[in-house]
Amino acid sequence: MKIYIGADHRGANLAHQIYDQLKQENKEVEYTSIPTTQTDDYPDFAFDVCKNVQKNPENLGILLCGNGIGISIAANKVKGIRCARVVNEEDAHHAKNHNGANVIAFGSLPIDKAMDVVHTFIDTPNPTEERHLNRINKIIKYEQGEYNEL
């Protein structure tokens, strides 16, 4: 598993701190190569990270912007990405274990709280319960144009 991290100018400082801590924990982590500027656009970071997450079903992504909303919307436009905006550990757990999220997004948090959220996301197992898998498969089928039972 490789973890990809990206952030616009409003999330860059925290994103770099998360990256540094994950590196210290010997996690395989890569920071986006897109430069951060005062006039950058969060979709660019979302698309870059998510294209990398797409490459392997075990990869995960972490995205940061002002509040996590915009960057999560952009991330969910990338085929195969299920990005959840999270604000705490419970959100991170449910995002991955119930909804099969492979990317999380959030905004400004204290570094210790952010690391709790990140560790929860990384350590939470993927969904195994039939009801969760059924819902995720509906999303995947809809994305592929195969599910239209509305």
Q: Give CA angle at 30 (27, 32), nearest 5°.
A: 155
Residue in 9, 16, 98, 132 annotated catalytic:
98
Question: Does residue 98 carry a catalytic annotation?
Answer: yes
Residues 67, 107 contacting (CB under 8 angstroms) = yes
Question: Does residue 50 carry a catalytic annotation?
Answer: no
Return the active site residues. Answer: 65, 98
